[in-house]
Chains A and B, each alone.
Chain A
Amino acid sequence: MADLDQLLRSDIAAAAADAARVPDFSPLERRGTRQRRVRSTGTAVVAAAIVVVIAATATQFVREDRGATPVTPTTPTPTTPSMPVNLTAEQIVDDPRSRAASIVIAPEDPRIRAVVWRLCLDDRCRRHREAVAVTDDGFRTRSTLVANAFPLYVGGGVFALQGRLGPPLLLHPDGHIVEVTGLQSEPGPPELPGEVIVSYGSGVLRWVAADPTTGRGHPVTVPENLRILRLSPGGRLAGETLGEGSYTWSDNSGATWSSTPLDNDPGLLVFAASRESEPIAVLEGGDGATLFPLGFVHRSTDGGQTFERLRLFDDPMAYGQNAGVLPDGRLLLNIEGWSDDEPGGEHARPIGLHVSNGNDWTDLRPVDGAAPYAEAQPDVVATKDGLLIVYGQEGKASTDGGQTWQDFKLR
């Protein structure tokens, strides 16, 4: 039996797509048209029935009113007010019921932020509306837009809107959107200073370097299997890849790339947030049995040239994925649960933010002061000022490793 990770990374979906029998479109179109007609007719019938029922009920009330029996007042049944569907971006962002679905903060200037606010339209949130709030002054001012896409900070003060088809779009903090052009030319390295690198497409990603102001771009060559590019405060691009475990980076905006293989076995890798001046941490997801078991951490103190592999947890195993390196070199990570937690019961030991005992990253202890937010998952961002820990729903952030918390505006 192949390893679970290998199986999950295999080409099952592609094989199914290849084997799919493609039906004629015309019968589907007719079916959809017929369903629309049936629905319209049904709606008309229901509306007519409602009119009849209302008329009958009204007649009945009239008759009762005419009788001598006094009517006992009844307590109205409380109902949930219906949620309007056509909401503006402002309404979605400002609704107190909306939740921060994604928080993106520019590493070089934490005042540049984009937050996706999600407002659920039913109890299980199967229907929801989303809007993006974006700012470059910490939400003293802002722009909002309804967008079925997630922003990703790509540098130059702009965000790429991810998760949509078509050409990539760049979102500026003043709310205007620039479409990237020039996607058909030959791939090459970035050509001009200030270009940002953006991925687009669903499934198979394509990469383009573009001028954030004009959107003028061109395809760009990146390391094979690159899935995510992370920008650090000093401008380093660090890439997470599928397949082989490695730390891949570029210090010249993608002109050239370096890569150091990591000795993982064959766990998944998640990059922790850190600045170039601090040790680099890459979390390794242990034995492949779960997504984010905090089995090992790979630490580099020479900018990614070499790594040492350290065991974090084994038995019991801790689970989590949000992590970063504090300015003093300590490892900070958020533990979401333990392997010996009772399902639906109390946690076997403390969860929430933990920090290493100095440079000994294998000795992790709970952070005092983070307890009020232990059940939530924080966003951990390396900024030019140090490590920023943000609890979006609570609107709180810490810049001292979770010791103290301040208000942090996200809309």
Chain B
Amino acid sequence: MTDTDAVHEAFEASYRRLVGQLYAVCGDLTEAEEVVAEAFARAVQHRRRFEQTDNPEAWLRTVAVNVSRTRHRRRLLGSRLERTEVRHPEIGDDRLALVTALRQLPAAQREAIALHYLADLPVHEVAAATGAPVGTVKARLSRGRQALALLLNDNNPEEARRG
């Protein structure tokens, strides 16, 4: 078995799932693919550390989240990473509205909501992926949901009147 087999095995097993989990974090499918691909490149770069980790997918997820943060910051600073075209999977308008609303949340809340609800990760895994204490993640989930509800209602005046 070569040194890169562990990474290759993780790639085969986890690439798609990680892209699914990072999609709502990034709000763009292409961006999610790129940050997950970069996470695998870094796994090759740090292969010894990667092979020693007990949970390779969690390691990759944490790296992917960190890469997405870095790219987001660089984008805010005017980097050429800005995309003109955002790509989404085939999901209904309601779900698309949710992903769009997520992009308006602060990054920490967006990550928590996306990873916990949409990627179906337990709170402690979200805490591990984002480097935040469990209590902080819960608070972000609570505030993020509140903000999401407002955002979705703002975009849907009829719902807001009923709500």
Contact = CB atoms under 8 A, between A and B. Distances in A.
A99 interface: yes
What secondary structure prevails in chain B residues at the interface with A?
A: helix
A32 B41 contact: yes
A97 interface: no
A288 B16 contact: no
Contacts of A364: none
Nearest to A33: B44
Interface stretch (A6-14, A76-84, A178-186): A6-14
A59 interface: no
Given A1-B94, A22-B15, A202 B44 contact: no
A71 interface: no
B122 A149 contact: no
Contacts of B11: 25, 28
B24 to A, nearest CB: 6
Contacts of B145: 4, 8, 288-291
A22 B16 contact: yes
B124 A125 contact: no
- The number of chain B residues touching the other chain, given as a range, is 35 or more
Contacts of B135: 377
A241 to B, nearest CB: 13
Given A35-B41, A124-B131, A202-B125, A19 B90 contact: yes
B122 A162 contact: yes
A374 interface: no
Given A13-B24, A20-B29, A20-B33, A39 B128 contact: no
A32 B3 CA distance: 13
Interface in B75-92: 89-91
B105 interface: no
A62 interface: no
Nearest to A290: B146
B106 interface: no
B32 A10 contact: no
A147 interface: yes
Interface string A117-144: 0100000111110000000000000000
Max chain A C-beta neighbours (<10 A), residue from B56, B91, B120, B156: B120
Contacts of B128: 148, 163
A316 to B, nearest CB: 14
Contacts of B4: 29
Interface string B29-45: 10011000100111111
A102 interface: yes
A58 B56 CA distance: 46
Contact of B19 (A2, A9, A16, A149): A16
A203 interface: yes
A147 B55 CA distance: 10
Contacts of A1: 94, 97, 152, 156, 158-159
Given A19-B90, A31-B41, A32-B44, A202 B15 contact: no
16 contacts: A4-B145, A4-B149, A10-B118, A13-B20, A15-B90, A16-B89, A20-B20, A20-B29, A28-B37, A125-B131, A125-B133, A163-B128, A164-B58, A289-B150, A290-B143, A290-B145
Given A10-B118, A20-B20, A289-B149, 10 more contacts: A4-B148, A12-B89, A20-B15, A20-B32, A101-B127, A125-B131, A148-B128, A203-B121, A290-B142, A336-B139
Interface of A: 1-2, 4, 7-10, 12-23, 25, 28-29, 31-33, 35-36, 39, 99, 101-102, 118, 124-128, 147-150, 162-165, 202-203, 288-292, 319, 321, 336, 377
